[in-house]
Structure 1
Amino acid sequence: MTTPTLPRRFYKTVDIAPVETGFAVRLDKATPKTPAKKPLVLPTEAAARLVADEWEAQTETIDPFAMPVTRLVNVALDRAGETRHAMVGEIVKYAGTDLVCYRATTPASLVAAQAAAWDPLLQWAEAQLGVQLVTTTQALAIDQPADALARIEAAAHALDDLRLTALAFANGLAGSAIVALALIHRHIDGETAFRAIRVEEDWQAERWGRDPDEEKIANARRVDLIAAERLVSAL
């Protein structure tokens, strides 16, 4: 497979500036556009600075995969308004088969590791969102309470476009609406979210070692979860 050629860095300076709708990222004093040609403007100075720092970190070429916050912002600005219903629907779909609800029966050490990582998240969801999901040790999918899924849907719809995009992104990475919601509501950080979705993999690695290729893929997921956390924390 041919590696795509990255565009060369075409700008010398990066800064941010206040504008009527928030804070604009600027390259050589001009505001860049998203893929859909919308100005790269964020609602807070801190969020604009995060994006600006990613542009500044580019060297001779521009690598979009090294700019996870910028990618999230582009999606939020370009697509969240039009695809909000679909994004929320996908989050609810994941909640119906949420990772944290499917538990091992043996060995005892894995059962304990899952409980330690996941039970507090379910308790938080019940206390803060009124969401009470059912756990199981069955391999087959179970039906979750309609009220719980409706509450998750309402919680997602209540978010602005940037936070909803971060939630949908984290949801897909985690395979868990509960982990994603805890992250977006800043109950946990990106590293904790990553460890929560890696309970079984970490348990196996402690016994049989880690696979370098798999670890590389996992680390990319970790970076993206931390990016979602950083964006939400800056809003």
Structure 2
Amino acid sequence: MRRFYKDVTLGEVPGAQTLGYQVLLDGRGVKTVGGAAQLVPTQGLGEALAAEWRRQGEKIDPKSLPLRDMADYAIDVVASDPVTIAAGLIAYAETDTLCYRADPDEPLHARQQAVWEPLLSAFEAAHGITLVRVSGVLHRPQPPETLATLQTKLTTLDPFALAGVEAMTKLAASLVTALAALDAADGEEPLALWQAACLEEEWQAELWGRDEEAEERRARREADFLRACGFARLARC
């Protein structure tokens, strides 16, 4: 598709309770795929969306508008049924990557303990919960009160933050990693959380060598994780 606009600006749109921000292309507000006005909750997220449109050349590359796609998803899908999205994420908490360790006599277990245990303990302390650690592959359920607390946490998120958390959770196979990245203090690096979630992949690469295609896939997933984290955090600023 050829670029059909010259000017990209950001408009402030008063809503029923809060002010929203909408990208304007030659003064016309961007809409979602579903036809709704693409209103986002913060100026920071609005500016990030506007930057995507400004970077387009003579032809529009849809693949270079990932934040636009995430905003569409948040408005058209997540906002209409956040309870179902949250329930799907709780399923990840039941089998969170950071809770499943190798057998204690395996060398991998020591690295998992060193990297994952501080993250998991800090997450438990922050949320006042207890998570069950498992050695091996046999499933053990998490405490119902833990899942209820996490469910409540998810339902307090706006659709944009929830969309970002959903994307991060699926990429990392870890709700703990996603929520920790969302709540990380300024200056803390979400990349370190992503790398922790990929510990087993890195372990296998060190043992058996690196496969170029696998490394490229992981790099794409890393970029997607960091982008989703940025999207979610911008929605809260």
Aligned-partner residue type, residue 213 of structure 1? E
Provide the C-alpha distance between the structure 1 equivalents of 2:184 and 2:199, rounded to a whole number of angstroms: 20
Q: In the alignment, which residue of structure 2 is the partner of 1:177?
A: 175
Q: Secondary structure at the match of 1:19?
A: strand
Change (3 A) 1:91 1:193: same
Kindly state the Cα deviation for residue 95 of structure 1 after the two structures are TM-superposed. 0.4
Change (3 A) 1:65 1:131: farther
Kindly state the Cα deviation for residue 59 of structure 1 after the two structures are TM-superposed. 2.5
TM-score using structure 2 length: 0.88
Kindly state the Cα deviation for residue 189 of structure 1 after the two structures are TM-superposed. 3.8
Provide the C-alpha distance between the structure 2 equivalents of 1:61 and 1:215, rounded to a whole number of angstroms: 30
User: How many residue pairs get matched?
Assistant: 228
2:115 touches 2:196 (CA, 8 Å); kept in 1? yes
Provide the C-alpha distance between the structure 1 equivalents of 2:157 and 2:115, rounded to a whole number of angstroms: 26
Q: In the alignment, which residue of structure 1 is the partner of 2:159?
A: 161
1:73 touches 1:162 (CA, 8 Å); kept in 2? yes
**Cα deviation code 1:34-93 (max 9, x no counterpart):** 101112222211110111112222334333333332222111111112221110111111
Q: In the alignment, which residue of structure 2 is the partner of 1:3?
A: none
1:96 touches 1:144 (CA, 8 Å); kept in 2? yes
Structure 2 counterparts to residues 1-235 of structure 1, below 5 A: 7-20=1-14, 21-105=19-103, 106-108=105-107, 110-186=108-184, 189-234=189-234, 235=236
Structure 2 unaligned spans of 5+: none
Structure 1 unaligned spans of 5+: 1-6
Aligned-partner residue type, residue 63 of structure 2? F
1:190 touches 1:228 (CA, 8 Å); kept in 2? no
Provide the C-alpha distance between the structure 1 equivalents of 2:95 and 2:156, rounded to a whole number of angstroms: 22
Provide the C-alpha distance between the structure 2 equivalents of 1:186 and 1:14, rounded to a whole number of angstroms: 32
Provide the C-alpha distance between the structure 1 equivalents of 2:223 and 2:25, rounded to a whole number of angstroms: 25
Percent identity between the aligned chains? 33
Kindly state the Cα deviation for residue 8 of structure 1 after the two structures are TM-superposed. 3.2
Kindly state the Cα deviation for residue 197 of structure 1 after the two structures are TM-superposed. 1.7
Provide the C-alpha distance between the structure 1 equivalents of 2:111 and 2:49, rounded to a whole number of angstroms: 36
Change (3 A) 1:90 1:75: same
Kindly state the Cα deviation for residue 33 of structure 1 after the two structures are TM-superposed. 0.6
Bigger mean CA deviation after superposition, 92-101 or 132-141: 132-141
Kindly state the Cα deviation for residue 138 of structure 1 after the two structures are TM-superposed. 2.2
Kindly state the Cα deviation for residue 101 of structure 1 after the two structures are TM-superposed. 0.7
Q: In the alignment, which residue of structure 2 is the partner of 1:4?
A: none
Bigger mean CA deviation after superposition, 44-53 or 178-187: 178-187
